[in-house]
């Protein structure tokens, strides 16, 4: 089991914070739960030096719930794995705080 990510979760690329917003009907501790499609609009605060900063996330390859869905979309868990893509540089998504401690899922 892993914790479900919500808006306000603390995530980073290899260099700086990543911000993800969501608007699902399911909320935990007052914050919307994040689903896979929310990550397509992730905002990067990355200012990595040359060859350039991370700009977007690749597909989430692990850490999607197999049992919990919102609107038919998989909920993202604290065990999420994805690469970050940029101008000649890449890194990885790291979750340091899921934003809540109430809801776990598989």
Q: Is the pLDDT of residue 93 over 80?
A: yes
Render pLDDT for 32-61 as a digit per residue (tens, 0 to 9): 999 999 999 998 887 767 667 888 899 999
**Per-residue pLDDT, 89:** 67
36-to-47, 50, 72, 89, 96 alpha-carbon distances in Å: 25, 30, 11, 23, 18
**Contact indicator for 20, 97 with CB cutoff of 8 Å:** no
Domain locations in the chain as residue ranges: 2-105
Instruction: Give the containing element (helix H, strand E) for 62.
Output: strand 62-70
- Helical H runs in 1-106? none
Q: What is the dihedral of CA 91, 92, 96, 101, to 10 degrees?
A: 160
Render pLDDT for 66-91 as a digit per residue (tens, 0 to 9): 999 999 999 999 999 999 887 766 78
């Amino acid at each position: 089991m892993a914790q479900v990510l919500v808006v306000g979760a603390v995530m980073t690329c290899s260099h700086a914070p990543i911000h993800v917003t969501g608007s699902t009907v399911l909320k935990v501790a007052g914050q919307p739960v994040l689903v896979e499609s929310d990550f397509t609009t992730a905002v990067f605060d990355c200012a990595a030096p040359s060859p350039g900063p991370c700009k977007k996330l690749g597909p989430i390859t692990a850490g999607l719930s197999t049992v919990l869905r919102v609107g038919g979309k998989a909920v993202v868990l604290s065990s999420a794995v994805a690469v970050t893509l940029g101008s000649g540089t890449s890194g990885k998504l790291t979750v340091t705080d899921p934003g809540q401690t109430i809801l776990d899922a598989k």
